Amino acid sequence: MTATAPIQTSHRPEGIPMFKNLKVATRLYLGFGTILAILLILTSTAYINFGALTEANRWNVHTYEVMSEMDNVLDALVNVETGERGFALTGEDAFLDPYKAGLASLRQHLDKAKALTQDNPKQQERLASIQASSEEWITKVLEPEIALRRSVKDGKASMDAVVASVTAAKGKQHMDRMRELLAQARGSESELLAVRSREAESRHATTNAVLVFGSLLAAALAAIIAMVIVRGLQNVLGGEPAYAAEVMRQVAKGDFTVQVATRPGDQSSLLNTVKDMVRMSGESIDDVVRVMGAVAQGDLTQTITAEYQGAFGQMKEYVNKTVTSLSDIVTEVNAGAEALAGASEEVSATAQSLSQAASEQAAGVEETSASLEQMTASISQNTENAKLTDSMATKAASEATEGGEAVKATVVAMKQIAQKINIIDDIAYQTNLLALNAAIEAARAGEHGKGFAVVAAEVRKLAERSQVAAQEIGDVASSSVELAERAGTLLGEMVPSIRKTSDLVQEITAASEEQSSGVGQINAAVGQLSQTTQQNASSSEELAATAEEMSSQAEQLQQTMGFFQLAGSTPAKAAVPAARSRQARKPLAARKPKPSLALADTAFADGVDESQFARY
């Protein structure tokens, strides 16, 4: 570190001893707090006095309002009196308009004056007296005169009566009394206004004195406090604030070669602390720069050996740990790169084996697919044959049923024939008896009965032969009935067997159709397996290519890590290529995957819908 010219600083005397050990914030709080307290006192005093002045002014305005209402009451009385006199003299109703308006105004302003003077009992008494006098004046003087004038107008009285009533001056007493009460009320308000004005002037003068004296006191204290605070700050800083700020700016820019000038014997000021910090920081940063520069050059054997305390000691520890950790990482990366290179060889060999196995599996899947197609054709043929057999069995069952019905009809007919043969046998027997009787009678007749005896003998022979033939036919009919019944029984037993055969053939047909569907699904699954096998072969080739690239990257990583020099080792040399054995290996990209099965193309063009598979 090169030395620069020291920055000069001036020396100040020590501050007031009582403030020497106070913090800067405490000094500022005390100084500004004192000034603020004085300002608060002045502001409070001014606020209180101004509030009182404002209140006095409000009451003055209130007083003026009361006085204005008193004047309005007097104006209303005058309007009432004027309207009444005008009507009394002229008798015109137009003069009663100001009379009526005056009465309304009188009552309104009296009520408002009462509301404004509720806090003043004397004024309330005066206003009550004014209201009582006005009501008595109206009822006893004004209204009777108005009624008298109306009588004159109606011809019921003379004008002389009106003149006499007016000249009697009955209303003047009431008016004088009300004027006197209004004058007293107004005078009382004027006295209150004067008292408040004097109080306001006194408060105003007091406020001005307090503000002037307090402002001078605050200014003096502010100057003293500022001087004490400035001196204390200079002692804490060790020099002028501008000088301390300039030193800190140079340190902030990274200039640790600055020479900080301090006062003799200064061991506790900010500038002295900065001086020690600059020295310590410069030494520690030099060590850090040295070690980090060596790391930048790939030398991981450099560390910080000097002793530092506090944050600088932590920085030394962190830098040394960083170098150690980086050395460990480089060592591990080198070992990992070597392991990665070996693993990539194994992955490549495995990928080749997988690719070959996938190709063989694809050929096997193709053969399986061809066998399944043949099986599908056989099952379809069996299904067609079963359907044909089912049709023939159904027809045979129908024909056997019809044969059974025909045999039953034959049995009935044979039985009827047997019955008829029995009748014929009976007739032959009877004929034989008659022929025998006829022969006996012919013999008795002698010569005359010979011709009849010959005829009777012939008839008897015919009857005997007829009887023998009838018996033979009866026996044959009986045998035919038994045979027909036996045939009917056999046909009846044959029909359920034929129907059972038909049902079994239908079940065989359904089973064949289910087998055909299952074989179709198996065929689709085999097609998907073929596609998956081809994808596995392609993935194996990609895996082999990736293993080649990974091996190459591992070699590059070893060469890159050779940049670092570790403790107890020589600079690393470029890694020997680990892929020499790969040069003789046949590239997997040269192997073309076998064509896809047609079944796979048709069954898996849009994927396999497993919901269509039948479960067995």
Question: Per-residue pLDDT tens for 398-430?
Answer: 777 777 777 777 777 777 777 777 788 788 778
In DSSP notation, 133-165 reads HHHHHIIIIIHHHHHHHHHHHHTSS-HHHHHHH
Task: Give 141-198 pLDDT, tens digit per residue.
Answer: 888 878 777 777 777 776 776 676 666 666 777 788 888 888 888 888 878 777 777 7
Give 591's pLDDT tier (boundaries 50, 70, 90).
very low
Q: How far is 424 from 226, CA to CA, in rounded Å?
A: 169
Domain ranges of the chain: 17-237, 241-297, 316-599
- pLDDT average, residue stretch 474-496: 75
CB atoms within 10 A of CB 453: 18
- How confident is the prediction for the chain on average, in pLDDT? 74
Sequence letter at residue 11: H
Q: How far is 307 from 9, CA to CA, in rounded Å?
A: 32
- Residue 262 structure tokens: 């301090």
Per the CATH hierarchy, to which homologous superfamily does domain 316-599 belong? Methyl-accepting chemotaxis protein (1.10.287.950)
Find all residues with CB under 8 Å of 4, minimum gap 6, and list them.
257, 258, 259
- Count the residues in the chain: 616
CB atoms within 10 A of CB 432: 19
Q: Cα 532–538–543 angle (5° rounding)? A: 120
Q: How far is 89 from 149, CA to CA, in rounded Å?
A: 8
Identify which has the larger pLDDT, 515 or 270.
515
Burial tier of 115 (Cβ tally within 10 Å: 0-12, 13-18, 19+): exposed
% of the chain beyond a pLDDT of 90: 0
**Contact (Cβ atoms closer than 8 angstroms) between residue 471 and residue 499:** no
- Residue 99 structure tokens: 């009379």
Q: How far is 152 from 163, CA to CA, in rounded Å?
A: 11
Of 553, 549, 555, the closest CA to residue 588 belongs to 549
Question: DSSP assignment, residue 118?
Answer: T
**Helix, strand, coil fractions of the chain, as percent rounded to 5:** 85, 0, 15
Q: Convert 40-97 into a string of H (helix), E (strand) and C (coil).
A: HHHHHHHHHHHHHHHHHHHHHHHHHHHHHHHHHHHHHHHHHHHHHHHHHHHCCHHHHH
**Contact (Cβ atoms closer than 8 angstroms) between residue 489 and residue 400:** no
- Residue 548 structure tokens: 């080649």
Find all residues with CB under 8 Å of 67, minimum gap 6, and list them.
186, 189, 190
Backbone φ, ψ for residue 489 (5° rounding): -65, -45
pTM value surpassing 0.75: no
Residue 611, pLDDT > 60, answer no
Q: How far is 517 from 523, CA to CA, in rounded Å?
A: 10
The pLDDT score that the predictor gives to residue 165 is 66
Give 549's pLDDT tier (boundaries 50, 70, 90).
confident
Give the chain's radius of gyration (CA, Å).
73
Task: Give 269-310 pLDDT, tens digit per residue.
Answer: 666 677 667 766 767 777 778 878 888 877 777 788 877 777
The pLDDT score that the predictor gives to residue 237 is 66
Find all residues with CB under 8 Å of 255, minimum gap 6, and list them.
none
The pLDDT score that the predictor gives to residue 169 is 60
